[in-house]
Structure 1
Amino acid sequence: MWPVCRCLLFGSPRPSPVVWALGQTCRSRSSGGAVAPGLDRPLSFSDGEAFKLKSGWEVVRGLLILRMCSFPSLVKHSEKLMLVSRRLLGRHLFELGMRWSVYGQFVAGENLPEITDCVSRLRTLGIRPMLAVPIEEDLDEKKSGEGWYELNEEIMRECVNLSSAGRDRPMMQLKVTALMSADLCKRLSVCLLDPALGEELSVQRIVSVMEGEDSGFSFLSKEQNFHLQNSVRRLSRIGKHARDSHVRVLVDAEYTYMNPALSLVTMAMMAQWNESEPWIWNTYQCYLKDSFSNISHDLDLTQRLGVCFGVKLVRGAYMDKERRLARENGYSDPIQPDWEATNSSYQRSLDKMLDLIGRDGKRYNLIVASHNEDSVLRAVHRMEELGIDKESGAVCFGQLLGMCDHVSLTLGQSGFLVYKSIPYGSVSSVLPYLVRRAQENQSVLQGIRKERDLLRRELKRRLLGRRLDNNQ
């Protein structure tokens, strides 16, 4: 058993060229760091100092889990492996094992005390929570009736309440498909491509439905109109509750076949609740070829509507499925041709938003939701150039709980506003979500070599220190 654990913890002496190359995706190519506003020395994500803040168990668990996540075959078959483990161990032992391993690494907890404890520990490290309810729907997961979506509305309201219990500038994530069917989102997205129907599906019209007008879109069936009406009103109520509770709602992007509809209803929520501050934010996936045109279009729209604009800027997580769907359905691949093109797309959108924030940081807000060190350092550098106060909240940073901690902890300890995306819920409800995220983010999981190296170095340092203490 020890050789296996040693391999997982300390790795093989010579990583393959392929694994090494993948590991560079999260590695900064800059020879030096950026000097953060108010700091005397450049930020460094390479010294591993931030990991000294972690407990010994957190270091060991993180190293084991990230090592396992770097094996594509293990991630690909993780759902089957979990099903077999559950049968062999029984529910109680299986869930106990998950709580000590994968669930414990990536999930805040199931109940209020567990979530509160996770959030408190993060806050001591200078990191803020961004709660996420792992509820979503895809085309092959149809629900019957409105009951499932109505229940989810109550769950989302509770997420707002949990988020508002934090201190300044609380945030949460929202999946539109928890409150509106994926089928309807796809139907609306198709209609938005038709200029005539797209004109009828305006933001102002959706706002009117949110505010009580009966939906009567001729291109929708009676049942679809009924569901649309209920869905956008659910979204509107969540937006109002969040604004009244001083919680910013970051609406997630999903698949390209439903994203136009998601942006439509998100912009309608902005039109309702972003008059004075950006309470509702939209997400832009820069691995898509049309991401910059989408953010520019929505920016122009918010300016015409006279409302504030919040942006969550990500690279994206659905690349393999998007490309497979494009091949199967015979349409153009929507994904950028290579990593460099995605980087260029991300930096272009990042610079556009930072320039706007430099002029008006109250009207425009941004979260740099990236595990890429170059993007983070570029944002820090541009903030210094533009005089953007790191404590103002106009620009913040975000990573996933349990990943990229060397970046998150360094930013948090340097006084930047940094958030961790934190799913919560029971083991049985969250594990399917974690499996999907792992399979969609395989390229990211394979590119975490640097974080593993830093964890391994920290573990060796502690073991050596203990050995020296025992010899004295």
Structure 2
Amino acid sequence: MFAAARTAAVRGLTRPRRQLQLVRRRQLQTAPAAQLADPPTLDFHDPKQVFDSKSMPELVRALAVLKLCSLDWFVDNSLAILRRSERLLGERLLHKLISPLYSQFVPGTNERDLADVAAQLRRSGVRLVFAHMLEDDIGEGQTLASFLDANLATTLRQFGMVPRIMAAHERPCTLLKLTGLVPCHTLAAVSSLAAGPAALASLVEGVAAQMAGGPVQRLPVLSAEDQSQWDAGLRRLVEVGQFCQSQSIRMMVDGEYTYTNPAIALLTLAMAANFNQTSPLVWGTYQCYLKDAEESLKNHLQVVDDIGVCYGAKLVRGAYLEKEVARAASLGLARPIHETYQETSNMYNSLVSRMLHRVARTGQRSAVIVASHNEESIRRAVRLMEELALPRDDGRVLFGQTYGVYEQVSVPLARAGYAVYKSTPLGDLRSIMPYLARRAAENRTVAKGTRSERKLLGQEIRRRLGVTW
């Protein structure tokens, strides 16, 4: 059923399994010759090299913001502080007061701002992956459907900016949060159905067929109203997928909370079934602070292999740690997060290894972004790439960091010839506040890395001032 529906909807792009196997073999045999140099010596601790494109005001702002993000009282209450201040002061005055924090992590609100930061990053050899921010509050007079439809329009408009501001040799990449297009409570309900590999595989087939124009997949956990909202969500995702396909935009679907992630994985895999026939257009995200991250990746790779499509994986440690721990404790659930940062790192390095070996084995049909601020994980990935003879920049292996921080990782990597992307959002203060709060919490969680960056910032400021102490 799925194959027939997808054939009609995607203009004959479905290929028989044997043909896909032959294509994979031929791609491995004829992959373009890699520019393989000797393994680079990555120096993450040279402040002059790292910050040579930064002005003195930018250095001072970065040092002040990172110091603020190291303060527990601020991080613990950052979102509440921002929202309460907005009510008291209004958005315009609040924006002026917190402009350093906002500008450190967010370049602005429009295409010109995005183009300016893309050009600035390019001077250091770094590229931009667009992280679009959607409103999370329904406005006065809006229905849920009209709210989500407005988010769809925003998504398409903002995604349309990305190819226009990228250089010719840069592949456009975007991040997508599904909770902005599909009701969160519906995702939570469907997640109860998508637990376990057998249930997931069956659901992916049915939902992918529906996305491709086949019959509606009725889900028993949804009321008639929720089913209608779910079906509308699928139509929105198809529209986004078709747009990204027409513009050759890679779309990396974000992981979110554990109670919605199974449904997010279901939708990601269903979109991959429809749009990943020839290259990894739709990517999934794997949050390695979760104890089940490796099992999830194994199951999802099995699904895409059974369907016979390409796939990309974004590997992250995770940005919702404190909320996940608090939620599990309040509900009496088992802690879904690793007990220690080292356990998370071990999981992360294991998934990086699995994906790099897969990329080496399957050629252009697989891709991965090592989205990490951890210097040791980066070094491990670089060493394994060299061992596997993987090119530094042929579009299959990317590295990613957050805009505004960890320049000591991004710049040396880019100058060594690797494909480095900064996750860069746009948005006004209201839409960006949850993002700012997550960045503050993330920077506290990885305190060692931010201490290193603060130290380098201080060294570079003193060097420019001619101060030797």
What's the TM-score once normalised by structure 1's chain length?
0.85
What letter is aligned with 1:77? N
Matches of 2:203 and 2:86 in 1, distance apart?
49
What letter is aligned with 1:405? E
Matches of 1:218 and 1:40 in 2, distance apart?
54
Q: Which residue of 1 aligns with 2:207?
A: 206
Q: Which residue of 1 aligns with 2:399?
A: 397
Q: Which residue of 1 aligns with 2:7?
A: none
Seq. identity, %: 37
Q: 5 Å matches for 1:105-184?
A: 105-135=104-134, 144-165=143-164, 166-167=166-167, 168-184=170-186
Q: 1:372 aligns with which of 364, 371, 374?
A: 374
Matches of 2:203 and 2:433 in 1, distance apart?
38
Matches of 1:391 and 1:195 in 2, distance apart?
33
Matches of 1:331 and 1:94 in 2, distance apart?
38
Matches of 1:317 and 1:91 in 2, distance apart?
26
Q: Which residue of 1 aligns with 2:259?
A: 257
1:260-309: CA deviation from partner (whole Å, max 9, x where unpaired): 00000000000000001000000001111111111011111111111011
Q: Which residue of 2 aligns with 1:308?
A: 310
Q: 5 Å matches for 1:25-424?
A: 37-38=36-37, 41-48=40-47, 49-82=49-82, 91-99=91-99, 101-135=100-134, 144-165=143-164, 166-167=166-167, 168-193=170-195, 198=199, 202-212=203-213, 213-424=215-426
Q: 1:361 aligns to what SS in structure 2?
A: helix
1:308-334: CA deviation from partner (whole Å, max 9, x where unpaired): 110000011222221222222222211
Matches of 2:398 and 2:265 in 1, distance apart?
22
Q: 1:124: how far off?
A: 1.4
Q: 1:278 aligns to what SS in structure 2?
A: coil
What letter is aligned with 1:210? M
Q: 1:75: how far off?
A: 1.9
1:207-264: CA deviation from partner (whole Å, max 9, x where unpaired): 1221233343333211111111110111111011101101100000001111000000
1:172-228: CA deviation from partner (whole Å, max 9, x where unpaired): 0000100001100110011223899x3796111101221233343333211111111
Gaps of 5+ in 2: 1-34
The count of aligned residue pairs is 426
The Cα RMSD (Å) is 2.4
What letter is aligned with 1:52? D
Matches of 2:146 and 2:272 in 1, distance apart?
26
Matches of 2:191 and 2:247 in 1, distance apart?
31
* Kept in 2: contact 1:37–1:383 (CA 8 A): no
Q: 2:370 aligns to what SS in structure 1?
A: strand
Q: 1:333 to 1:410 in 2, by over 3 A?
A: same
Q: Which residue of 2 aligns with 1:6?
A: none
Q: 1:136 to 1:445 in 2, by over 3 A?
A: farther
Matches of 2:328 and 2:369 in 1, distance apart?
30
What letter is aligned with 2:112? P
Q: 1:92: how far off?
A: 3.6
Q: 1:380: how far off?
A: 0.8
Q: 1:94 to 1:124 in 2, by over 3 A?
A: same
What letter is aligned with 2:317? R
Q: 1:402: how far off?
A: 0.7
* Kept in 1: contact 2:69–2:443 (CA 8 A): no
* Kept in 2: contact 1:109–1:118 (CA 8 A): no
Q: 1:366 to 1:284 in 2, by over 3 A?
A: same
* Kept in 2: contact 1:250–1:283 (CA 8 A): yes
Gaps of 5+ in 1: 1-35, 468-472
* Kept in 1: contact 2:63–2:458 (CA 8 A): yes
* Kept in 2: contact 1:211–1:233 (CA 8 A): no
Q: 1:40: how far off?
A: 7.3
Q: 2:264 aligns to what SS in structure 1?
A: helix
Matches of 1:339 and 1:263 in 2, distance apart?
24
1:71-98: CA deviation from partner (whole Å, max 9, x where unpaired): 0112223345445655776644432343
1:136-164: CA deviation from partner (whole Å, max 9, x where unpaired): 7599xxx8431111111111112221112
Q: Which residue of 2 aligns with 1:18?
A: none
